[in-house]
Amino acid sequence: MEPKLSYAAAAVVAGMLCMACTASPAKGKPPAVAYPAVLQGVWIGDSPDACKQPNATDNDSRMQIAARKLTAYEDWREPVSVVQISKTPQAWKIVSQLHINEDTIRLEEVLLLSGEDHGELTVVNYRQSNTYYRCR
């Protein structure tokens, strides 16, 4: 009877170890950094009504934020670090790799979400501040 009990105990321990291994990220690979879900979507910098214009997809102030990529008119960014710095108003310090032409530049920005239904996004970096409006 004892051998069956030890096999059962070993099977339980092995199963628990397997579950622990699959719950963690791959060894040596950090978890993927992502833009906050509340920021994801399409944003335009002209005005809230610019999203409804026929040329909205070609607007040079348009940007689209996905989980792991922010795509702007002539560049795109991939997040390296995302830290929420305020809950009210919601704000994040985001460090990203900016890809423009053949260059890659480290960029630090603060993204501040405000407005009715979180409809305004202000992006501040070392050079400028821009406000974008959520396209719905």
> Quick one: pLDDT at residue 35?
98
- Between 130 and 4, name the one with better pLDDT: 130
3-state DSSP assignment of residue 42: strand
Q: Is the pLDDT at 6 greater than 50, yes or no? A: no
Which residue is listed with tokens 């005005």?
47
pLDDT tens digits for 13-61?
344 334 344 444 556 677 799 999 999 999 999 888 998 888 888 899 9
3-state DSSP assignment of residue 69: coil
CB 65 within 8 A of CB 55: no
**Closest to 35 in 3D by CA, of 88, 104, 113, 99:** 113
CB 82 within 8 A of CB 65: no
pLDDT band of 99, cuts 50, 70, 90: very high
Nearest-angstrom CA–CA distance, 108 and 123: 10
Domain ranges of the chain: 29-134
